[in-house]
Amino acid sequence: MAKRGNNEGSIHKRSNGSWRAQVSIGGKRLSYTADIRAECNDWLRKTLDLVDGGMTYSKSEYTLGEYLVEWIRMKKTSLRPNPALQYKTLVENDIIPNLGDIKLHQLNLIRINRFYAKLVNDERGTRTIRLIHSVLHSALEHALRIGLITRNPSHGAILPRIKYHEMKIFNEEQVFSFLISAKTSRFRLLYKLAIATGMRQSEILGLKWGDIDWIKGTIQIQRQAQQVNGKGIVFLEPKTRAGIRKIMIGKTILEDLRAHRVKQEESKTIQPESWQENDLIFATSKGTPFSQSNLMRDYYKIIERSNLPKIRFHDLRHTAASLMINRGIPIVVVSKIMGHSKPSVTLNIYSHCVSELQYKAAKVMEEITTPIAIDMVEISSEVEENR
């Protein structure tokens, strides 16, 4: 590290009570003002480290906003379409308007915490604030790797605590009621498959006939159908390797799928000129992917007609996992079916089911460890004589 001269950095208190730090780079002066001296000390130390690392005056003028515009352009090439759009929206609508004018090397934890506190005061959701932090943290990690900053200033940020809500699911009776009410729906088999396997809606809508092994009775999950703004339905790989999986299905569902395929083949012959072959299991009368909005309208109509609790479609996935665990299916098996990266993820999500199983386990162990008193009945003398 290069030696610093005596006059390369200074801090002084201003007449209004604030503090100012200054550094000279190439004959030009950089200044930073803060309410407390410690903040100026922190800025001075980081800036001098950057100068030693080769920062020029032009680089020092680089704002967070300018950097983020370049970063998001680069980042979206490695993201799926929907997350890429979400990142871009958060950067343009939240981060840049609040922090964009700050010089990149002047950004610190105090300013970032003030930004998050403002979002809380503006009644932004906890999940949104944490997502904004995730995007900003990722951007600053890249800036650190390429030498624009000496450390990530978002480390240790104060974030609003996540409020955990009780999971909403159907019990076994409610599942039965829902499926009875769905008997006349064109999505009946789709709902049944969702509850039986715990597949995500996007995974079910992405299923193709070639994914079924009719002999082994399995379905291969290897794509998702997602709605992307400006592009319609697109097919993407699952987010993780664990998401690519095979799920065994029962004989009844296999028979339902065979019957469903026969009906689909009949649809092709009725309007062959309008049919678009996509090999989709769940498709419109033209062979195109189902509209998710139409599916959701039908789903909530069935719930209302059944007088059932209003739960999200995604909660059918939670319903499946919870019912499997409550029926004693091992966590490791449930984890594979759900496509989780490891069983600990399943345990964290469905800890309420494990708590219920603990009661069953306690009863079993109580029976094992509690001696049963046996009353020895005296054999009567009359019985003795008859021997």
Pick the CATH number of 172-363 from 1.10.10.60, 2.40.37.10, 1.10.443.10, 3.40.50.300: 1.10.443.10
Residues with Cβ within 8 Å of 357's Cβ and at least 6 positions away in sequence, in order, are: 325, 326, 328
CB 197 within 8 A of CB 338: no
pLDDT (0 to 100) of residue 4: 42
CATH number assigned to the domain with residue range 62-163, chosen from the 4 options 3.30.360.10, 3.40.800.20, 3.40.50.2300, 1.10.150.130: 1.10.150.130
Residue in the block written with tokens 């950004």: 107
- The reported pLDDT for the residue numbered 170 is 96
Give the CB-side neighbour count of residue 68, counting CA atoms within 13 A. Answer: 27
Q: What was the pLDDT predicted at 372?
A: 67
Q: What is the pLDDT at residue 114?
A: 94
Q: For residue 69, how many other CB atoms are within 10 A of its CB?
A: 14
Q: Are 238 and 203 in contact (CB under 8 A)?
A: yes
Tokens of 111: 């300013």
3-state secondary structure the chain: CCCCCCCCEEEEECCCCCEEEEEEECCEEEEEEECCHHHHHHHHHHHHHHHHCCCCHHHHCCEHHHHHHHHHHHHHHHCCHHHHHHHHHHHHHHHHHHHCCCEHHHCCHHHHHHHHHHHHHCCCCHHHHHHHHHHHHHHHHHHHHCCCCCCCCCCCCCCCCCCCCCCCCCCHHHHHHHHHHCCCCCCHHHHHHHHHHCCCHHHHHCCEHHHEECCCCEEEECCEEEEECCCEEEEECCCCHHHCEEEECCHHHHHHHHHHHHHHHHHHHHCCCCCCCCCECCECCCCCECCHHHHHHHHHHHHHHHCCCCCCCHHHHHHHHHHHHHCCCCHHHHHHHHCCCCHHHHHHHCHHHHHHHHHHHHHHHHHHHCCCCCCCCCCCHHHHHHC
| Amino acid identity for residue 319 in this structure | T
Measured distance between the N- and C-terminal CA atoms of the chain, rounded to whole angstroms? 106
Rounded Cα distance between 280 and 200, Å, is 16
Residue with tokens 């000279």: 24
pLDDT at 331: 92
Which sequence spans correspond to the domains of the chain? 1-59, 62-163, 172-363
pLDDT for position 208: 97
Q: Which residues of 204-233 are buried (b: 16+ CB within 10 A; e: fewer)?
A: bbbbbeebbeeeeebbebbbbbbbeeeeeb
Contact 109, 149 (CB under 8 A): no
Residue type, 384: E
- Rounded Cα distance between 95 and 157, Å, is 15
Per-residue pLDDT of the chain (387 residues; tens, 9 = 90+): 334 443 468 898 998 989 988 887 766 777 788 888 988 888 788 777 767 766 554 555 779 998 899 899 888 888 888 888 889 999 999 999 999 999 888 899 999 999 999 999 988 889 899 999 999 999 999 888 777 777 899 999 999 988 777 789 999 999 999 999 999 999 999 999 999 999 999 999 999 999 999 999 999 999 999 877 777 788 888 878 889 999 999 999 999 999 999 999 988 888 888 889 999 999 998 899 988 889 999 999 999 999 999 999 999 999 999 999 988 899 999 999 999 999 999 988 888 787 777 777 787 777 888 776 666 555 555 555 555
* Distance, CA of 140 to CA of 154 (rounded, Å): 8
